[in-house]
Amino acid sequence: MTESVKPTACHPYPADAPLLELERFCLVLDGREVLSDISFAVPKGSITALIGPSGSGKTALLRSFNRMNEWTDSVKISGTLRFEGKEIHSPETDLLAHRSRIGMVFRTPNAFSMSILDNVAYALRVQGKRHPEEGAEKILRRVGLWNAVKDRLGERGDRLPSGLQQRLCVARALAASPSLLLLDEPCSVLDPVGTAELEDLLLSLAGDPTVVVVTHNPQQAARISQYTAFLAQGRLIEVGPTEKVFQRPLCRETDDYISGRFG
């Protein structure tokens, strides 16, 4: 007898104008099914957290949003993934333009080996904008870095301490005014102070842009996100407003994971 697959437990949440919309989305990386049958939506202007144990496919899901999986692996997909109402895997999609509408921050602070100013101006520069440095001050103020670096904008960005450097990476990702910001475990190498500062920064963005953050720390998800999606073994187990997922989980796995009994 084949085991019947449990459908995603879905708390009701408003999804009338979602920024991202997935329907029966499956992803096969290098011949291995990493994500299967994912359906959910990311509301515009929200912070959504993707949580789950290691190997659950959170990062692969995050990287599907800006099609970064294709860069390293051979990719097969099925189902739909719509960004601002448009299917991103359709042949008409301009990949460069698509990626430039989505900012991304990585696990390790990875400022480029160029000046702080050039790091911030990078996205606008490669997109061919004139005077890419112009908005840098505003962006740096927004991520709370201006006072720390205003006197040394010419110094190398990759020599900043990791807390400041990760904020510089957020600034770099925000520079081209994306409508979506993806963060892949952005606090994994930061100390508690750096983590708190980065969480404050994400909250201060106030939904512009929409944020999707992968975290292995359920408490962090509880602190910063409005919506939480819980994944395990490539499946979306439960999704909904964060307080509901945390306070009244519908699935036992979710309850076990957020209360620290597994994962």
Partner 1 sequence: MRLRPSEPLAMWVTGAFAMLFLASLALIASLTWSVLRGAWPGAIEIAQIDGQSTCIERLGRSGEGEWIRKSGHPDAWVVPAAALASSRPALGHEAILLHDGRWFCTPRLELVEPDRILPISSRSLALWSESFGQDMTRLRQAAQFGDTLSIPEFQRLHGLGMRIRVRLLQQGTRVELPIEDIRLIRPKDSGLREKFGYFLLILRLQISSSPGSFASITGTVLATVLATVLASPLAVAAAIWLSEFSRPGKLSWLFRQSVQLLAGVPPIVFGAFGLAILVRQVAPAIDPHLAVPSLLWASLTLTFLALPTVTRQAHLALLQVPSHLREASLCSGATRLQTLRHVVLPAARKGLWAAILMGAVQALAETAPLLLTGAVQLSGKPLLGGAAPWLHLGGGFEHLGTRIYHGIEQFPPGPLGIGAGSLSCLVLAVLSISLRTWAASLRHPGGTP
Q: Which chain residues interact with partner 1 by CB under 8 A? A: 66, 68, 71-72, 96-97, 99-100, 102-104, 106-108, 110, 112-114, 122-123, 125-127, 169, 172-173, 175-176
CB of 91 to partner 1, least distance (A): 19
The residue among 71 and 247 lying less far from partner 1, judged by its C-beta, is 71
Q: DSSP labels for the chain?
A: -PPPPPPPEE-----SSEEEEEEEEEEEETTEEEEEEEEEEEETT-EEEEE-STTSSHHHHHHHHTT-HHHHS-EEEEEEEEETTEETTSTT--HHHHHHTEEEE-SS----SSBHHHHHHHHHHHTT-SSTTTTHHHHHHHTT-HHHHGGGTTSBGGGS-HHHHHHHHHHHHHTT--SEEEEESTTTTS-HHHHHHHHHHHHHTTTSSEEEEE-S-HHHHHHH-SEEEEEETTEEEEEEEHHHHHHS-SSHHHHHHHTTS--
CB of 168 to partner 1, least distance (A): 11
CB of 146 to partner 1, least distance (A): 21
CB of 185 to partner 1, least distance (A): 12
The residue among 165 and 254 lying less far from partner 1, judged by its C-beta, is 165
The residue among 17 and 126 lying less far from partner 1, judged by its C-beta, is 126
The residue among 68 and 222 lying less far from partner 1, judged by its C-beta, is 68
CB of 73 to partner 1, least distance (A): 10
The residue among 173 and 231 lying less far from partner 1, judged by its C-beta, is 173
